[in-house]
Amino acid sequence: MTTHREGRTRPIPFIDLATQRQRLGDRLDRAILQVLEHGRYILGPEVAELERQLAAFCGARHAIGCANGTDALALGLLARGIGPGDAVLVPAFTFVATAEVVAWTGATPVFLDVLPDTFNLDPAALDAGLDTARQQGLRPRAVIAVDLFGQPADYDRIEPFCAAHGLWLMADAAQSFGATYKGRRAGSIGLIAATSFFPAKPLGCYGDGGAVFTDDDELALIMRSLRVHGQGRDKYDNVRIGMNGRIDTLQAAILLEKLRVFEDEVLARQTVAERYARGFADLGERCRTPVVPEGMTSVWAQYTLVLEPGVRDRLGAELKDQGIPTAVYYPIPLHQQTAYRRYPVQAGGLPASEELAGRVLSLPMHPYLGATDQDGIIAAVRAGLAA
């Protein structure tokens, strides 16, 4: 056990799954054992129950469990027949999966800029994205809006734009399950919404997992078929090209137990976020805290600061020396990553995405972050910035 300068006897975890595990206790063990006993490892009863509870939680008509969040996004694109010659507008400041799935289908991701204060897709960039797509001879078909760091995108502006231009909307809610946008919950926004249960997401399992949501009965049927190789009514007559995209029964059983404490954890995350906001409130442009506009809530998948230029890497290293882990989400915007440089970007470029990539720093964020540890983090960041 290491003792850090401030006398902490254990390092602060970036995300504390061990404390959550303790809280879940025997119930979780029993849920896992029950799967081992009934032995229906693939699409067992826990999967159907999880789908029912996920749909009820967010107010979507259908929830379909998936192998991971990336497959969830891919199912949405496949179900809508996205393919070569199509353009899908996506933000450049996000996790790679958002654009990766578009490239899988043979369609072209067109990169748009984000807003510097919310980190989410800039609705004003949509027009430029359409122009870029058309100039490249592509058919604009869809927008994937990302709820980055747990906060919903600006759907009141994105949805009407999509409706006006014949585009359909998919919400990449991989980081935002549990968040709300003007009374609507993430998962219920967009023609299709996709989420991830990767262990570090706000609702995470103990491996890979995800889900896709829709209110459309027909699309739900198609996505259920695509999830099992495009299966038709006859199991061995596959009627479309699909994938193996199922969630394991074991992961579903684990998620059902985690869902029982999830609402409470979401509230705890909010308390932690508010404490950070107070702790840095006076620092202004030297250390910008996330802006959550009126009427929405974040589920705080990450707590991400925007620091004054040039200090991020030094501060991260100093915090690490003091046993405080940090992370950079994301150091390279997608349009600058090796495999994605060949895809088009909106006219005018992506200055906000590029600027954020150089200045963001994410701090430890989880529902079990105690006030003492958190005050230590705040003090260390403040001291580092003053240095």
Ligand X SMILES: *Cc1c(COP(=O)(O)O)cnc(C)c1O
CB of 229 to ligand X, least distance (A): 19
CB of 195 to ligand X, least distance (A): 8
- Give the residue carrying structure tokens 């506009």: 293
Instruction: Closer to ligand X by CB, 198 or 213: give it.
Output: 198
- Nearest Cα neighbor of 111 from 87, 84, 82 is 87
My answer on whether omega of the bond before 330 falls inside 30° of 0, hence cis, is: yes
Q: How many angstroms separate the CA atoms of 128 and 114, rounded? A: 13
Spell out the SS3 assignment of 201-255: CCCCCCCCCEEEEECCHHHHHHHHHHHECCECCCCCCECCCCCECCCEHHHHHHH
Select the residue whose beta carbon is closest to ligand X and give its number.
Answer: 69
Instruction: Closer to ligand X by CB, 187 or 323: give it.
Output: 187
CB of 336 to ligand X, least distance (A): 17
For the chain, the distance separating the N- and C-terminal CA atoms, rounded to the nearest angstrom, is: 29
CB of 372 to ligand X, least distance (A): 30
User: Could you give the strand order of the β-sheet that contains 360-363, starting from the edge strand earlier in sequence?
Assistant: 287-288, 303-307, 360-363
C-alpha to C-alpha distances, 145 to 162, 191, 193, 276, nearest whole angstrom:
11, 12, 10, 26
**CB of 366 within 8 A of CB of 131?**
no
**CB of 152 within 8 A of CB of 130?**
no
Instruction: Closer to ligand X by CB, 97 or 162: give it.
Output: 97
Instruction: Closer to ligand X by CB, 11 or 14: give it.
Output: 14
Measured CA angle at 343 (ends 188, 90), to 5 deg: 15
**CB of 67 within 8 A of CB of 209?**
yes
Neighbours of 139 (CB within 10 A): 15
CB of 193 to ligand X, least distance (A): 11
Instruction: Closer to ligand X by CB, 98 or 251: give it.
Output: 98
DSSP calls for 26-59: HHHHHHHHHHHHH---BS-HHHHHHHHHHHHHHT
Strand 168-172 to 192-196 pairing:
parallel
Which 3 state secondary structure label does DSSP give 77?
Answer: helix
CB of 371 to ligand X, least distance (A): 28
Instruction: Closer to ligand X by CB, 280 or 330: give it.
Output: 330
CB of 210 to ligand X, least distance (A): 5
Instruction: Closer to ligand X by CB, 97 or 319: give it.
Output: 97
CB of 304 to ligand X, least distance (A): 12
Instruction: Closer to ligand X by CB, 98 or 304: give it.
Output: 98
Q: Residues interacting with ligand X, by CB under 6 A?
A: 68-70, 94-95, 97-98, 146, 172, 174-175, 196, 198, 208, 210
Instruction: Closer to ligand X by CB, 194 or 363: give it.
Output: 194
CB of 65 to ligand X, least distance (A): 12
- Give the residue carrying structure tokens 């991020």: 312
